[in-house]
Amino acid sequence: MTATVTPITSMHRLYSFVAGNSGGWLVEQVMRVSGELLPAAPRIAVVAETSAHPPRDATWCLRGITSNERYVTREEKTALAAKQEGLGRAQASCAAMIPIRKSAAWWAMPQDERRDIMEQQSRHIAIGLNYLPAIARRLHHCRDLGSNEPFDFITWFEYAPADSAAFNELLRELRASLEWRYVEREVDIRLRRADS
Ligand code: HEM
């Protein structure tokens, strides 16, 4: 008897980021923040899809899945919901894709200690809130897709060209925090919407 494997039904929770010659986002800059860089490619396609197989001509393909929140409190959730805007806004023709891997020391900690570092000691959410609604974001988790994923998270941000400096300031604040001492690989990819 042949076993049938049912494809993952993601309901658009699973996203692939495919670097290559096609896609709606033009790569403007690929910067190494820590760890190994990713190879450059002219474009990135963000695809909501179920397939585990990247296109054959892709330079690279990273996958991540959106998930429930792990750390936010009720108060923070309410504050975020009141301020944040979604992806795909007409004026938000700039994007940043920042894949991140955290260290084994980070993952060895229980959730309450990670939350303590992330918020009590680093103010990640409080800092981030200051930049809403200019910056829209989506967090994708990679760890639970398998043990071969090169990153733990793929972060995606969209903003108007006029907010580029604010976005850089946000990164400066976050990267100076205690939380970022647990980041062992980070690549900062800046993009512009191809039709903009
Ligand atoms: C635009 C402002 C930002 C806001 C409002 C924000 C907010 C948040 C929130 C609420 C979470 C926790 C989600 C949960 O409870 O599981 C989170 C997680 C995360 N954020 Fe941000 N963030 C912002 C900017 C950034 C930036 C610029 C980066 C990367 C350079 C980043 C990277 C991450 C990562 C990697 C996580 C997952 C951390 C973990 O689970 O260990 N965030 N962010």
Per-residue pLDDT of the chain (196 residues; tens, 9 = 90+): 444 554 555 468 999 999 999 999 999 999 999 999 999 999 999 999 766 677 888 999 999 999 999 999 999 999 999 999 999 999 999 999 999 999 999 999 999 999 999 999 999 999 999 999 999 999 999 998 988 899 999 999 999 999 999 999 999 999 999 999 999 999 999 999 999 8
- Ligand 1 nearest-atom number relative to CA 175: 30
Question: Using CB atoms within 10 A of its CB, is residue 94 exposed (0-12), middle (13-18) or buried (19+)?
Answer: buried
List residues near ligand 1 (CB under 6 A): 69-72, 80, 98, 100, 102, 124-125, 128-129, 131-132, 135, 137, 139, 153, 155, 170-171, 174
Ordered by where they begin, the domains of the chain are 14-193 (3.30.70.3420)
Mutational test site, ligand 1, from 32, 135, 137, max ligand atoms within 8 Å of CB: 137
